[in-house]
Structure 1
Amino acid sequence: MLNRFERVLVATNRWVLILLLLVMSCIVFANVVLRYTTGDSIVWAEEVARHMMIWVTFLGAGLVLRFGGHVAIDNFHHAVGEQGARVVRAIVALGLGVFFLVMMYFSILYVWATRFQTTAATDIPIAWIYVAMPVGFLLLFVHLLFIVRGYIGHGNYITSDEMDAESAASL
C-alpha cells in the first residue's frame, strides 16, 4: 500500500511539474512572439509565469531531494568512517526533517497573513500563490521520509531508470 502511494505521489508530482512547465513555456513564448510581432504583450503573462515558477520550484524540490539532486558536500561523510557517516547522515536527515516541518508551519502563517492581498494584473489572491510553500515543504518532508532509511544506512538516494540526480535537478 505504501509503495503504491509512493508511486502515485511521484507520478502525480512529475506530471504536475511537466504540465506547469509546459503551460508556463507556452505563455512566455506567446508573449514574446506578440511583443515582437505586434508591439503589444499579454498583460497578465509575466505575472502568471512568475507564479507558475514559484509553484514549480516548491513542487519540484521534493523530487530533486528524492533523487539526490540538491547541492551537497559529502567529503565529511567519507572522512569519518562508515559508523561516523551514518551518524552524520542521521543528524542531517533529522535537521532537514525539522527544518521542513518548521518552514511548513511558518509558511502556513505567511499564507494566512496574505489571504486578503491580490495580485496586480490578475486579481488572484496572493495566498493561492504562496500556498505553494507549505505544499512544497510537506512534499519535501514526505519525500525525505521515503528516502531516509537508505540515506542514513548507505548514503543512497532513490534510483530510477527514468530519473537520476542530474535529471531531477534540471526540472
Structure 2
Amino acid sequence: MINQVLRWFIGILIVALVISVAMGVFWRYGLGNSLYWATEVPNVILVWIVFIGSVVAYYERRHIAFTALVDALPERLRWSFRIVAELVVLAFLGALTVYGYQIVSSAMNSLSDALKIPRGYFYICMPLSALLMAVCSVENLFRLLRRPGEGAPT
C-alpha cells in the first residue's frame, strides 16, 4: 500500500520537475527573462525523487547487490549472514534517521535563497526515507527469522 502511494508521489514529483524545468527554459529563452526559482525548485524536486525513489527500490529489492559470495555459502551460514547484513542495514538506517533529523532541525533556521522558506523542508526527505526503509528492514528481518525454508537453521 505505502509503496503504491510512494510511486504515485514520485510520479507527481516527476511531472512537477518537467513542468518547472520547461517553465524555466521557456521564460529564459522564449521571454528573455528568468524565473527566480527556476534553479532551486527543480534541484529540490530531484533530491526528493532520489530519496523517495530509494525507498521504493529498497522495498522492491531493486538496489544493486553482489550475492555471489553469499549464494556460495552453506544454507545455515547464508541465513546467518543475511540476518547480520539486515541488522547492519537497520543500524545504518537508524543512524541516518537520527542524523537526518538533526540536519533538518538545524536547517530550519536557514532560509532558501529563492523561495525564502526554511531549508529543513527541503531536507526532510532524508530522515523520512531512512525511517521508511528502516520499517521495511524490520519487516525483512522478521521475514528472515520466521521463514525456515530459506536457509534458516531447523
Q: TM-score, normalised by structure 2?
A: 0.87
- 1:67 & 1:126 partners in 2: Cα distance? 30
* 1:77 partner letter: V
Asked if the contact 2:90–2:137 (Cα under 8 Å) also holds between the matched residues in 1, the reply is yes
Aligned to 2:126: 133
Asked if the contact 1:66–1:147 (Cα under 8 Å) also holds between the matched residues in 2, the reply is no
Percent identity over paired residues: 23
Aligned to 1:71: 64
Asked if the contact 1:59–1:139 (Cα under 8 Å) also holds between the matched residues in 2, the reply is no
RMSD: 1.8
Q: Secondary structure at the match of 2:132?
A: helix
- 1:62 & 1:125 partners in 2: Cα distance? 24
Aligned mate of 1:85, from 72, 78, 81: 78
Q: Which consecutive residues of structure 1, in runs of 5 or more, have no partner in the other structure?
A: 1-6, 156-171
Q: Number of paired residues?
A: 148
Q: TM-score, normalised by structure 1?
A: 0.79
1:31 aligns with 2:24: yes
- 1:91 & 1:107 partners in 2: Cα distance? 24
- 1:151 & 1:69 partners in 2: Cα distance? 18
Aligned to 2:51: 58
Q: Secondary structure at the match of 2:39?
A: helix
Asked if the contact 2:108–2:119 (Cα under 8 Å) also holds between the matched residues in 1, the reply is yes
Asked if the contact 2:3–2:59 (Cα under 8 Å) also holds between the matched residues in 1, the reply is no
* 1:74 partner letter: T
- 1:123 & 1:68 partners in 2: Cα distance? 38
Q: Which consecutive residues of structure 2, in runs of 5 or more, have no partner in the other structure?
A: none
